[in-house]
Amino acid sequence: MNAPTTTELPVVVIGAGPAGLAAAAHLVDQGIEPLVLEAGPAAGAAVREWSHVRLFSPWGEVVDPAAEKLLAPTGWTRPDPATYPSGGDWADLYLQPLADVLGDRVRLGVTVTGVSRAGRDRIVDADREQQPFVVHVAHADGREERVFARAVVDASGTWATPRPAGGSGLAALGEKAAADRITYRVPDMKNPAVRIRYAGRRTAVIGSGASAFTALAHLADLAKSDDGAGTKGVWILRRGISGSTFGGGEADQLPARGALGLAAKAAVDDGHADAVTGFRTEAIERADDGRLVLVGEDGRRLDAVDQVIVLTGFRPDLSFLDELRLGLDERLQAPVELAPLIDPNQHSCGTVPPHGHRELSHPEPGVYLVGMKSYGRAPTFLAMTGYEQVRSVAAVIAGDPETADRVELTLPETGVCGGAGLFDAPTAVGTAAEQAPAGGCCGS
């Protein structure tokens, strides 16, 4: 089968999360047909997995302008811009209506298994840039298909690939064998089946970002409830506790984000969690009673815990892009021009400068990693950053470099960014919201 000419083809967008659907809206606005391929059964499938989490960014910051323009003729109106949606709200009240408007441009239950140039693996130079992209997909029923594209926008996020507990970046020894007592997501304590797993038990929380803050706050809240007596958190930190450990607090320009750190600090100060500092997990061993013992690289062995919540961040799945010529930073696995701008050693959410298609480009023209996927291993992503990215990318694909280069974005400074945030629980302050994998920080 011969590939059609490139100009006749759609732009394939991988992932129907916040960044992916926004990319599709911007492409439509540019007069280009998108084809959104989503592995899950519904739009925003990853967001729905943390539907119990409330974003620390309000509605005013998590709705893309082009998407709102596309939705307006349907009578859709954005919820109160000053209020904070949960992940479920975001999916049901925004992402699903947007997918509905896009209609057949969004395909569900379709997993991308490979992307290349038609008739060219990554080695071949001859006429490479004149060939369309070929995208191999697998349907939920096992059928396979190939789709041709003029460009590929990968907005698949990092949600499906959490980092392990091991301090070296590898799984700790015994981590896989202890999978029945480990989770890599912030648990939904409102679910009775989940709640009973942690109530009255001792739980280790590994991680230092907003996800860990949320888990600690929620465990503390459980400890104070009628059915949670004896609940105890053990906070495992690779570093010591300093003035920045708990984020920006009341100085954070996103007040709900600042509330995350304050809630975690309260959990420690009130005795609902003990902090273990300078601990890098090397092994997870099973005690005789089935509980887990964490062993550090320095030989320390912690008292046994009933459960472990690993919240050490996420990493990108690059396996299906292996035949493309990507230019990725050796540390962050982000585009090389973007990496120094988002290095978590130097930047928080608010200190990342505006960026667009130039920073997101690769040696393979026409392919872009956007949204949380573009940040590789950096945990500092905000939804509005993704919206500006896809606006710029859509413009350059449409042949409008002037618009694509006009990148302007002002982000709230201070605070800690990375992971899922504070639950809508009694420990929250007013409408305090949490950083989510996509919203405060985004991972579709």
Candidates 21, 172, 158; CA nearest to 96 is: 21
The predicted pLDDT at position 331 comes to 93
| 27 vs 397: CA distance, rounded Å | 8
Q: pLDDT band for 436, please (50, 70, 90 cuts).
A: very low
Q: Mean per-residue pLDDT for 411-431? A: 35
Supply the pLDDT for residue 414.
41
> Of how many residues is the chain composed?
444
Geometric angle at alpha carbon 371, from 91 and 175, rounded to 5° = 85
Contact 435, 421 (CB under 8 A): yes
For the record, the structure tokens of 136 come out as 């191999």
Distance between CA 265 and CA 267 in Å, rounded?
5
Residue 78: per-residue pLDDT: 92
For 346, the token pair is 């130097």
> Are 368 and 360 spatial neighbours (Cβ–Cβ below 8 Å)?
yes
Closest CA to 15 of 152, 162, 154: 154
Which of 10, 30, 316, 22 is CA-nearest to residue 135? 10
DSSP, collapsed to helix, strand or coil, labels residue 257 as helix
Q: Percentage of residues in the chain with pLDDT exceeding 90?
A: 75
Considering only the C-alpha atoms of the chain, give the largest distance between any 2 of them, rounded to a whole number of Å: 70
pLDDT of 428 over the 80 cut: no
Average pLDDT over residues 22-41: 98
pLDDT score, position 151: 98
Q: What pLDDT sits at residue 256?
A: 57
pLDDT tens per residue, range 313-371: 999 999 999 999 999 999 999 999 999 999 887 765 556 788 999 999 999 999 999 99
The yes-or-no verdict on residue 160 having pLDDT over 50 is yes
Distance CA 332, CA 33 (A): 32
Q: What distance in Å separates the CA atoms of residue 107 and residue 34, rounded to the nearest whole number?
A: 11
Q: What percent of the chain has pLDDT over 70?
A: 86
Residue 367 to residue 326: CA distance in whole angstroms: 9
Element (H, E) at 385: helix 383-397
Give the pLDDT mean for 163-180.
96
CA–CA distance, 381 with 350 (Å, rounded to integer): 9
pLDDT (0 to 100) of residue 210? 80
Token duo for residue 275:
């902090």
pLDDT at position 255: 53
Q: How far is CA 190 from CA 225, 237, 256, 272, in A?
A: 12, 26, 21, 19
What average pLDDT score do residues 295-304 get? 97
Residue type (1 letter), 250: E
Strands 144-149, 133-139: pairing kind: antiparallel
